Structure 1
Amino acid sequence: MIKNTKHNNGSYIIGLPQAQHKPTLHSPTVTSNLKKRSMEAISKIEIKTKANLGKRITAGFIDYAIIFFFQGIMFFFYGKHIDGGYVLSGTPFWMVVLFWAIMTIGLEQIFGTTLGNYMSDLKPVSVKNFYSHRLTIGQSIKRHLGDILDIWFFGLIGILLIKNTKHNQRLGDLWAKTIVIDTTDKEQGMK
Protein backbone atom coordinates (compact mmCIF):
# COMPACT_ATOMS: atom_id res chain seq x y z
CA MET A 1 0.00 0.00 0.00
CA ILE A 2 1.39 3.36 -1.04
CA LYS A 3 1.47 5.99 1.65
CA ASN A 4 1.68 9.75 1.23
CA THR A 5 3.52 11.58 3.96
CA LYS A 6 3.40 15.37 4.31
CA HIS A 7 6.67 16.98 5.29
CA ASN A 8 6.92 20.14 7.46
CA ASN A 9 7.82 22.26 4.42
CA GLY A 10 4.54 21.32 2.70
CA SER A 11 5.95 18.76 0.26
CA TYR A 12 4.71 15.20 0.08
CA ILE A 13 6.81 12.03 0.12
CA ILE A 14 5.24 9.13 -1.66
CA GLY A 15 6.48 5.67 -0.70
CA LEU A 16 5.82 2.37 0.88
CA PRO A 17 5.36 2.18 4.64
CA GLN A 18 8.21 0.79 6.74
CA ALA A 19 7.98 -2.98 6.96
CA GLN A 20 6.88 -4.16 10.34
CA HIS A 21 9.30 -6.92 11.24
CA LYS A 22 9.25 -9.30 14.12
CA PRO A 23 12.49 -9.53 16.06
CA THR A 24 14.47 -12.67 15.30
CA LEU A 25 16.91 -14.44 17.59
CA HIS A 26 19.82 -12.56 16.01
CA SER A 27 18.25 -9.10 15.84
CA PRO A 28 20.00 -6.41 17.92
CA THR A 29 17.00 -6.05 20.25
CA VAL A 30 16.80 -9.75 21.09
CA THR A 31 20.59 -10.09 21.42
CA SER A 32 20.69 -7.08 23.73
CA ASN A 33 17.87 -8.51 25.87
CA LEU A 34 19.61 -11.91 26.06
CA LYS A 35 22.86 -10.27 27.15
CA LYS A 36 21.01 -8.22 29.75
CA ARG A 37 19.30 -11.36 31.15
CA SER A 38 22.62 -13.24 31.13
CA MET A 39 24.30 -10.46 33.12
CA GLU A 40 21.38 -10.46 35.57
CA ALA A 41 21.76 -14.23 35.95
CA ILE A 42 25.51 -13.85 36.60
CA SER A 43 24.91 -11.21 39.25
CA LYS A 44 22.46 -13.54 41.00
CA ILE A 45 24.92 -16.45 41.14
CA GLU A 46 26.27 -16.98 44.62
CA ILE A 47 29.61 -18.73 45.02
CA LYS A 48 30.11 -20.64 48.26
CA THR A 49 33.41 -22.26 49.09
CA LYS A 50 35.36 -23.39 52.12
CA ALA A 51 39.13 -23.62 52.49
CA ASN A 52 39.09 -27.46 52.65
CA LEU A 53 42.76 -27.01 53.51
CA GLY A 54 43.41 -30.54 54.82
CA LYS A 55 41.82 -32.13 51.78
CA ARG A 56 43.59 -29.80 49.36
CA ILE A 57 47.00 -30.47 50.91
CA THR A 58 46.32 -34.22 50.81
CA ALA A 59 45.20 -34.02 47.16
CA GLY A 60 48.28 -32.04 46.15
CA PHE A 61 50.52 -34.44 48.06
CA ILE A 62 49.00 -37.46 46.28
CA ASP A 63 49.29 -35.89 42.81
CA TYR A 64 52.84 -34.66 43.24
CA ALA A 65 54.05 -37.78 45.12
CA ILE A 66 53.13 -39.79 42.00
CA ILE A 67 54.75 -37.23 39.68
CA PHE A 68 57.94 -36.98 41.77
CA PHE A 69 58.11 -40.79 42.06
CA PHE A 70 58.03 -41.05 38.26
CA GLN A 71 60.62 -38.29 38.03
CA GLY A 72 62.83 -40.16 40.52
CA ILE A 73 62.64 -43.31 38.41
CA MET A 74 63.63 -41.32 35.34
CA PHE A 75 66.60 -39.78 37.21
CA PHE A 76 67.66 -43.21 38.48
CA PHE A 77 67.71 -44.78 35.01
CA TYR A 78 68.49 -41.81 32.74
CA GLY A 79 70.00 -39.08 34.91
CA LYS A 80 73.46 -37.89 34.01
CA HIS A 81 75.83 -37.10 36.86
CA ILE A 82 77.12 -33.53 36.89
CA ASP A 83 78.98 -31.58 39.56
CA GLY A 84 76.65 -31.42 42.54
CA GLY A 85 73.79 -33.57 41.23
CA TYR A 86 72.04 -35.14 38.29
CA VAL A 87 70.33 -33.78 35.20
CA LEU A 88 67.72 -35.12 32.82
CA SER A 89 67.88 -34.06 29.21
CA GLY A 90 66.39 -35.02 25.87
CA THR A 91 63.64 -37.63 25.73
CA PRO A 92 63.71 -38.55 29.47
CA PHE A 93 63.19 -34.88 30.39
CA TRP A 94 60.24 -34.56 27.99
CA MET A 95 58.78 -37.83 29.31
CA VAL A 96 58.67 -36.28 32.80
CA VAL A 97 56.99 -33.14 31.42
CA LEU A 98 54.47 -35.26 29.49
CA PHE A 99 53.75 -37.40 32.56
CA TRP A 100 53.14 -34.22 34.61
CA ALA A 101 50.79 -32.87 31.92
CA ILE A 102 48.83 -36.14 31.76
CA MET A 103 48.55 -36.46 35.55
CA THR A 104 47.32 -32.90 36.01
CA ILE A 105 45.85 -31.31 32.87
CA GLY A 106 44.94 -34.56 31.08
CA LEU A 107 43.08 -36.19 33.98
CA GLU A 108 41.32 -32.91 34.76
CA GLN A 109 40.11 -32.66 31.16
CA ILE A 110 39.02 -36.30 30.88
CA PHE A 111 37.55 -36.90 34.34
CA GLY A 112 37.01 -33.36 35.62
CA THR A 113 39.50 -33.86 38.46
CA THR A 114 43.01 -35.13 39.19
CA LEU A 115 43.62 -38.40 41.02
CA GLY A 116 44.48 -36.62 44.27
CA ASN A 117 41.39 -34.40 44.07
CA TYR A 118 39.21 -37.43 43.27
CA MET A 119 40.53 -39.35 46.28
CA SER A 120 39.92 -36.27 48.47
CA ASP A 121 36.40 -35.60 47.10
CA LEU A 122 37.46 -32.29 45.58
CA LYS A 123 36.58 -30.90 42.18
CA PRO A 124 37.69 -27.74 40.37
CA VAL A 125 34.80 -25.73 38.93
CA SER A 126 34.84 -22.90 36.41
CA VAL A 127 33.34 -19.61 37.56
CA LYS A 128 34.04 -18.09 34.13
CA ASN A 129 31.38 -20.12 32.33
CA PHE A 130 28.25 -20.34 34.44
CA TYR A 131 26.43 -22.54 31.90
CA SER A 132 28.99 -25.32 32.23
CA HIS A 133 31.16 -25.83 35.28
CA ARG A 134 33.59 -27.96 33.22
CA LEU A 135 37.06 -26.47 32.88
CA THR A 136 38.44 -25.49 29.51
CA ILE A 137 41.88 -26.75 28.47
CA GLY A 138 43.18 -23.20 29.00
CA GLN A 139 41.86 -23.13 32.56
CA SER A 140 43.48 -26.48 33.37
CA ILE A 141 46.81 -25.32 31.95
CA LYS A 142 46.68 -22.08 33.97
CA ARG A 143 45.69 -23.91 37.17
CA HIS A 144 48.62 -26.29 36.96
CA LEU A 145 51.23 -23.82 35.73
CA GLY A 146 50.29 -21.98 38.93
CA ASP A 147 51.29 -25.10 40.90
CA ILE A 148 54.93 -24.11 40.42
CA LEU A 149 54.47 -21.07 42.67
CA ASP A 150 51.66 -22.49 44.83
CA ILE A 151 53.77 -25.39 46.13
CA TRP A 152 56.90 -23.29 46.53
CA PHE A 153 58.37 -23.31 50.06
CA PHE A 154 56.25 -26.29 51.22
CA GLY A 155 53.06 -24.83 49.76
CA LEU A 156 53.15 -21.67 51.86
CA ILE A 157 52.06 -19.38 49.01
CA GLY A 158 49.11 -21.64 48.10
CA ILE A 159 48.04 -22.04 51.74
CA LEU A 160 48.18 -18.29 52.41
CA LEU A 161 46.14 -17.54 49.29
CA ILE A 162 43.55 -20.25 50.05
CA LYS A 163 43.07 -18.88 53.57
CA ASN A 164 43.01 -15.20 52.57
CA THR A 165 41.07 -14.97 49.28
CA LYS A 166 37.32 -14.47 49.10
CA HIS A 167 36.60 -17.82 47.41
CA ASN A 168 39.54 -19.78 48.88
CA GLN A 169 41.50 -19.73 45.63
CA ARG A 170 45.19 -20.40 45.19
CA LEU A 171 47.24 -18.56 42.55
CA GLY A 172 46.41 -21.06 39.78
CA ASP A 173 42.68 -20.79 40.57
CA LEU A 174 42.75 -17.00 40.56
CA TRP A 175 44.49 -16.94 37.18
CA ALA A 176 42.19 -19.58 35.65
CA LYS A 177 38.97 -18.21 37.23
CA THR A 178 38.18 -21.49 39.01
CA ILE A 179 37.20 -22.58 42.48
CA VAL A 180 37.70 -25.93 44.21
CA ILE A 181 34.71 -27.45 45.97
CA ASP A 182 34.21 -30.45 48.25
CA THR A 183 31.79 -32.71 46.37
CA THR A 184 30.48 -34.17 49.65
CA ASP A 185 29.49 -30.73 51.01
CA LYS A 186 26.23 -29.60 49.35
CA GLU A 187 26.71 -26.04 50.66
CA GLN A 188 29.70 -25.49 48.37
CA GLY A 189 29.48 -24.51 44.72
CA MET A 190 27.67 -21.95 42.58
CA LYS A 191 23.99 -21.41 43.26
Structure 2
Amino acid sequence: MANTTIITGQYVRINQTPASVGERILARLIDMVIIILYVLATIAFFDKTPLLRIMHGSFQVCFLLFVYLPAFCYSLLFEVFNHGQSIGKHIMNIRVVMADGSNPTFGAYLLRWLLYLIDFTITGGLGVIFILLTKNNQRIGDLAAGTMVIKQNDYRKIQVSLDEYAHLEANYHPVFPQAGDLSLEQINVIEKALSVNGIERDNYISQLSEKIKGLLTINPQMNDEKFLETLIKDYQYYAYVDI
Protein backbone atom coordinates (compact mmCIF):
# COMPACT_ATOMS: atom_id res chain seq x y z
CA MET A 1 0.00 0.00 0.00
CA ALA A 2 1.34 3.44 -0.91
CA ASN A 3 2.34 5.87 1.80
CA THR A 4 -0.07 8.62 2.74
CA THR A 5 1.40 12.12 2.85
CA ILE A 6 0.09 14.24 5.72
CA ILE A 7 0.81 17.94 6.19
CA THR A 8 0.79 18.80 9.88
CA GLY A 9 1.50 22.48 9.42
CA GLN A 10 3.36 24.88 7.15
CA TYR A 11 6.60 22.97 7.39
CA VAL A 12 6.06 19.44 8.73
CA ARG A 13 5.38 16.69 6.21
CA ILE A 14 4.85 13.10 7.36
CA ASN A 15 4.62 10.01 5.16
CA GLN A 16 2.68 7.24 6.86
CA THR A 17 1.39 3.93 5.58
CA PRO A 18 -2.16 3.13 6.73
CA ALA A 19 -2.70 -0.39 8.05
CA SER A 20 -4.69 -2.59 5.70
CA VAL A 21 -8.14 -3.90 6.55
CA GLY A 22 -6.66 -7.40 6.78
CA GLU A 23 -4.06 -6.33 9.32
CA ARG A 24 -6.68 -4.55 11.41
CA ILE A 25 -9.06 -7.52 11.35
CA LEU A 26 -6.29 -9.94 12.34
CA ALA A 27 -5.24 -7.63 15.18
CA ARG A 28 -8.85 -7.49 16.38
CA LEU A 29 -9.21 -11.28 16.20
CA ILE A 30 -6.09 -11.69 18.33
CA ASP A 31 -7.52 -9.24 20.85
CA MET A 32 -10.85 -11.08 20.89
CA VAL A 33 -9.09 -14.37 21.60
CA ILE A 34 -7.28 -12.75 24.54
CA ILE A 35 -10.54 -11.31 25.89
CA ILE A 36 -12.35 -14.65 25.57
CA LEU A 37 -9.51 -16.48 27.31
CA TYR A 38 -9.64 -13.94 30.14
CA VAL A 39 -13.39 -14.39 30.56
CA LEU A 40 -13.14 -18.21 30.45
CA ALA A 41 -10.31 -18.16 32.99
CA THR A 42 -12.33 -16.05 35.43
CA ILE A 43 -15.39 -18.28 35.00
CA ALA A 44 -13.29 -21.37 35.70
CA PHE A 45 -11.78 -19.70 38.74
CA PHE A 46 -15.16 -18.70 40.20
CA ASP A 47 -16.50 -22.18 39.50
CA LYS A 48 -13.79 -23.74 41.63
CA THR A 49 -13.93 -21.26 44.51
CA PRO A 50 -16.76 -20.19 46.82
CA LEU A 51 -15.89 -16.54 46.36
CA LEU A 52 -19.04 -15.54 44.48
CA ARG A 53 -21.30 -17.74 46.58
CA ILE A 54 -20.43 -15.88 49.76
CA MET A 55 -21.25 -12.54 48.16
CA HIS A 56 -24.77 -11.21 47.89
CA GLY A 57 -26.73 -8.46 46.18
CA SER A 58 -25.07 -5.26 45.06
CA PHE A 59 -21.68 -6.27 46.44
CA GLN A 60 -21.57 -9.27 44.11
CA VAL A 61 -22.61 -7.10 41.16
CA CYS A 62 -19.93 -4.51 41.92
CA PHE A 63 -17.30 -7.23 42.26
CA LEU A 64 -18.21 -8.75 38.88
CA LEU A 65 -18.14 -5.31 37.24
CA PHE A 66 -14.66 -4.78 38.65
CA VAL A 67 -13.47 -8.19 37.39
CA TYR A 68 -14.85 -7.83 33.87
CA LEU A 69 -14.24 -4.10 33.36
CA PRO A 70 -10.71 -4.74 31.98
CA ALA A 71 -12.20 -7.06 29.34
CA PHE A 72 -14.92 -4.56 28.44
CA CYS A 73 -12.45 -1.66 28.21
CA TYR A 74 -9.60 -3.78 26.83
CA SER A 75 -8.91 -1.78 23.65
CA LEU A 76 -9.23 1.60 25.34
CA LEU A 77 -6.93 0.70 28.24
CA PHE A 78 -4.21 -0.82 26.08
CA GLU A 79 -4.22 1.98 23.50
CA VAL A 80 -4.08 4.69 26.18
CA PHE A 81 -1.31 3.07 28.23
CA ASN A 82 0.61 1.30 25.46
CA HIS A 83 1.14 4.08 22.91
CA GLY A 84 -1.79 3.24 20.65
CA GLN A 85 -1.28 -0.51 20.58
CA SER A 86 -3.36 -3.36 21.92
CA ILE A 87 -1.68 -6.77 22.08
CA GLY A 88 -3.15 -7.62 18.68
CA LYS A 89 -1.91 -4.36 17.15
CA HIS A 90 1.52 -4.92 18.66
CA ILE A 91 1.72 -8.39 17.11
CA MET A 92 0.59 -7.02 13.74
CA ASN A 93 3.05 -4.11 14.07
CA ILE A 94 0.40 -1.39 13.72
CA ARG A 95 -0.69 1.44 16.02
CA VAL A 96 -3.18 4.28 16.43
CA VAL A 97 -1.99 7.86 15.78
CA MET A 98 -3.66 11.18 15.11
CA ALA A 99 -4.14 11.96 11.43
CA ASP A 100 -1.35 14.58 11.70
CA GLY A 101 1.10 11.98 13.00
CA SER A 102 1.04 13.07 16.67
CA ASN A 103 0.04 10.93 19.64
CA PRO A 104 -3.73 10.76 20.29
CA THR A 105 -5.23 12.39 23.36
CA PHE A 106 -7.30 10.40 25.84
CA GLY A 107 -10.41 12.02 24.37
CA ALA A 108 -9.51 10.74 20.88
CA TYR A 109 -8.92 7.21 22.18
CA LEU A 110 -12.20 7.33 24.11
CA LEU A 111 -14.24 8.56 21.14
CA ARG A 112 -12.95 5.92 18.71
CA TRP A 113 -13.55 3.23 21.36
CA LEU A 114 -17.13 4.38 21.99
CA LEU A 115 -17.89 4.37 18.27
CA TYR A 116 -16.59 0.82 17.85
CA LEU A 117 -20.11 -0.29 18.77
CA ILE A 118 -21.46 1.51 15.71
CA ASP A 119 -18.58 0.46 13.46
CA PHE A 120 -18.86 -3.27 13.98
CA THR A 121 -21.61 -4.36 16.36
CA ILE A 122 -24.86 -2.51 15.69
CA THR A 123 -24.27 -2.01 11.96
CA GLY A 124 -22.84 -5.47 11.34
CA GLY A 125 -19.48 -4.33 10.01
CA LEU A 126 -20.05 -0.86 8.56
CA GLY A 127 -16.60 0.08 9.86
CA VAL A 128 -14.97 -2.41 7.46
CA ILE A 129 -16.70 -0.71 4.53
CA PHE A 130 -15.39 2.68 5.66
CA ILE A 131 -11.87 1.26 6.02
CA LEU A 132 -12.04 -0.03 2.46
CA LEU A 133 -13.46 3.19 1.00
CA THR A 134 -11.61 5.97 2.87
CA LYS A 135 -8.22 7.19 1.70
CA ASN A 136 -6.44 6.54 4.99
CA ASN A 137 -8.33 3.32 5.82
CA GLN A 138 -10.30 4.99 8.62
CA ARG A 139 -13.42 3.55 10.22
CA ILE A 140 -16.18 5.82 11.57
CA GLY A 141 -14.50 6.02 14.98
CA ASP A 142 -11.24 7.11 13.36
CA LEU A 143 -12.95 9.78 11.28
CA ALA A 144 -14.77 11.18 14.32
CA ALA A 145 -11.68 11.13 16.55
CA GLY A 146 -9.25 12.33 13.86
CA THR A 147 -7.15 9.17 14.18
CA MET A 148 -5.80 6.53 11.84
CA VAL A 149 -4.12 3.16 12.23
CA ILE A 150 -0.68 2.99 10.62
CA LYS A 151 2.05 0.46 10.08
CA GLN A 152 4.74 0.82 12.72
CA ASN A 153 8.15 1.89 11.46
CA ASP A 154 10.57 -1.00 11.62
CA TYR A 155 14.06 -1.03 13.12
CA ARG A 156 15.97 -1.20 9.84
CA LYS A 157 14.42 1.96 8.41
CA ILE A 158 15.19 3.91 11.59
CA GLN A 159 18.77 2.70 11.75
CA VAL A 160 19.56 3.53 8.12
CA SER A 161 18.16 7.03 8.47
CA LEU A 162 20.03 7.66 11.71
CA ASP A 163 23.29 6.81 9.98
CA GLU A 164 22.92 10.11 8.10
CA TYR A 165 23.18 12.09 11.35
CA ALA A 166 26.31 12.93 13.29
CA HIS A 167 27.10 10.49 16.07
CA LEU A 168 26.09 11.50 19.57
CA GLU A 169 28.73 12.60 22.02
CA ALA A 170 29.80 10.05 24.62
CA ASN A 171 27.58 10.05 27.72
CA TYR A 172 25.09 12.38 26.05
CA HIS A 173 22.14 13.33 28.27
CA PRO A 174 18.90 14.33 26.49
CA VAL A 175 17.33 17.68 27.30
CA PHE A 176 13.78 17.24 25.97
CA PRO A 177 12.01 13.90 26.63
CA GLN A 178 9.27 15.04 24.21
CA ALA A 179 11.72 14.56 21.34
CA GLY A 180 10.99 10.84 21.53
CA ASP A 181 7.43 11.57 20.34
CA LEU A 182 8.60 13.13 17.08
CA SER A 183 8.48 11.11 13.87
CA LEU A 184 11.52 10.44 11.72
CA GLU A 185 10.03 12.58 8.96
CA GLN A 186 9.63 15.53 11.34
CA ILE A 187 13.28 15.20 12.35
CA ASN A 188 14.24 15.21 8.67
CA VAL A 189 12.32 18.48 8.22
CA ILE A 190 14.17 20.01 11.18
CA GLU A 191 17.52 18.95 9.77
CA LYS A 192 16.66 20.44 6.37
CA ALA A 193 15.60 23.70 8.02
CA LEU A 194 18.96 23.98 9.74
CA SER A 195 20.75 23.47 6.41
CA VAL A 196 18.87 26.32 4.68
CA ASN A 197 20.95 29.30 3.57
CA GLY A 198 19.90 32.83 2.63
CA ILE A 199 18.14 35.81 4.13
CA GLU A 200 14.99 33.82 4.99
CA ARG A 201 16.90 31.28 7.10
CA ASP A 202 16.34 32.93 10.47
CA ASN A 203 12.63 33.48 9.80
CA TYR A 204 12.22 29.90 8.57
CA ILE A 205 13.92 28.46 11.65
CA SER A 206 11.96 30.75 13.97
CA GLN A 207 8.57 29.76 12.56
CA LEU A 208 9.41 26.05 12.55
CA SER A 209 10.68 26.33 16.12
CA GLU A 210 7.45 27.97 17.28
CA LYS A 211 5.43 25.26 15.55
CA ILE A 212 7.33 22.49 17.33
CA LYS A 213 7.22 24.26 20.70
CA GLY A 214 3.45 24.33 20.45
CA LEU A 215 3.27 20.72 19.27
CA LEU A 216 5.43 19.39 22.11
CA THR A 217 4.40 21.99 24.73
CA ILE A 218 8.00 23.09 25.33
CA ASN A 219 9.34 26.47 26.45
CA PRO A 220 13.12 26.09 26.02
CA GLN A 221 15.56 28.57 27.53
CA MET A 222 17.74 28.71 24.40
CA ASN A 223 17.67 30.27 20.96
CA ASP A 224 15.67 28.66 18.15
CA GLU A 225 18.61 27.19 16.26
CA LYS A 226 20.08 25.61 19.37
CA PHE A 227 16.65 24.27 20.28
CA LEU A 228 16.24 22.50 16.93
CA GLU A 229 19.76 21.09 17.05
CA THR A 230 19.09 19.74 20.55
CA LEU A 231 15.85 18.10 19.43
CA ILE A 232 17.73 16.17 16.73
CA LYS A 233 20.30 14.91 19.22
CA ASP A 234 17.61 13.97 21.74
CA TYR A 235 15.65 12.10 19.06
CA GLN A 236 18.78 10.14 18.15
CA TYR A 237 19.36 9.31 21.78
CA TYR A 238 15.84 7.96 22.36
CA ALA A 239 15.87 6.05 19.06
CA TYR A 240 19.09 4.27 20.02
CA VAL A 241 17.84 3.61 23.55
CA ASP A 242 14.64 2.03 22.21
CA ILE A 243 16.70 -0.16 19.91
Bin of the TM-score, shorter chain as denominator length: 0.5 to 0.7
Larger RCO (CA under 8 A, 6+ residues apart): 1
1:168 equivalent among 118, 132, 137: 137
Q: Deviations over 1:28-75 (max 9, x none)?
A: xxxxxxxxxx98528x75665445111110101111221233234445
Q: Deviations over 1:160-183 (max 9, x none)?
A: 110012321012211211011112
Aligned to 1:108: 79
Asked whether the equivalents of residues 19 and 151 of structure 2 are also in contact (C-alpha less than 8 Å), the reply is no
The CA distance in 1 between the partners of 2:152 and 2:109, in whole Å, is 19
State whether structure 2 residue 30 is matched by structure 1 residue 59: no
1:97 equivalent among 60, 64, 69: 69
Q: CA RMSD in A?
A: 3.5
Name the SS for the 2:97 alignment partner. Answer: strand
> Offset of 1:141 from its aligned partner?
1.2
Q: 1:71 to 1:121 in 2, by over 3 A?
A: same
> Highest CA radius of gyration, 1 or 2?
1
Structure (1/2) with the larger strand percentage:
1
The CA distance in 2 between the partners of 1:51 and 1:39, in whole Å, is 20
TM-score of the two chains, using structure 2 as the length reference? 0.47
Name the SS for the 1:64 alignment partner. Answer: helix
Structure (1/2) with the larger helix percentage:
2
> Offset of 1:94 from its aligned partner?
3.4
Q: 1:47 to 1:89 in 2, by over 3 A?
A: farther
Aligned to 1:149: 118
Give the aligned length: 139
Structure 1 regions of 5+ residues with no counterpart?
1-37, 81-87
Aligned to 1:122: 94
Q: Which runs of 4+ in 1 moved over 4 A?
A: 44-49
Asked whether the equivalents of residues 47 and 167 of structure 1 are also in contact (C-alpha less than 8 Å), the reply is no
Asked whether the equivalents of residues 49 and 168 of structure 1 are also in contact (C-alpha less than 8 Å), the reply is no
